[in-house]
Amino acid sequence: MAIVPAPNVDEMKDQKDVKGLIIALKDDDATVRYRAAQALDELRDLRAVWPLTNALRDEAVTVRARAAEALGRLGDGRALDRSLSAFLCWRPLPEFSSRKPNTTGSVQRAD
């Protein structure tokens, strides 16, 4: 099986390859997705609005946060409703899914 190299996000950013960066937002590696969102933020191209909005549902919280930051900087109102919905429909992180608050407000393991 051939190993596929990770997309070169820095090169795509330097070449203003918005389409390539949008594709990189769907990469298997969360670091690549994060860096693609960061590059799209720096390029400030409105073609990135919907792909960044979709990234608000990414499994990696860092990617979701970076996409939200990029959308905020783009200032495109079309993304506001979807951004808000994505944050209101959050899922608990796996490491906290087996815990529940007790009556004192601290966290305890649910057995």
Kindly state whether residue 84 falls inside one of the protein's structural domains: yes
Residue 27: inside a domain:
yes
Q: Evaluate whether residue 108 is within a structural domain.
A: no
- Tell me the whole-structure pTM to 2 decimals: 0.69
Residue 67 lies in a domain: yes
Please give the residue range of the domain that contains residue 38.
9-89
Whether residue 95 lies inside any domain: the answer is no
Has residue 70 got a pLDDT over 80? yes
CATH number at residue 52: 1.25.10.10
Q: Which pLDDT value is given to residue 80?
A: 57
110 found inside a domain: no
Number of domains into which the chain is organized: 1
| Cα 61 to Cα 63: distance, rounded to the nearest angstrom | 5
Mean pLDDT of 40-55: 93
- Note the pLDDT of residue 98: 45
For residue 100, name the pLDDT band (cuts at 50, 70, 90).
very low
Q: Which has more confidence, 77 or 107? A: 77
Phi/psi of residue 19, nearest 5 degrees: -60, -45
Residues forming a β-bridge with 107: 101
Query: How many residues can be counted in the chain?
Result: 111
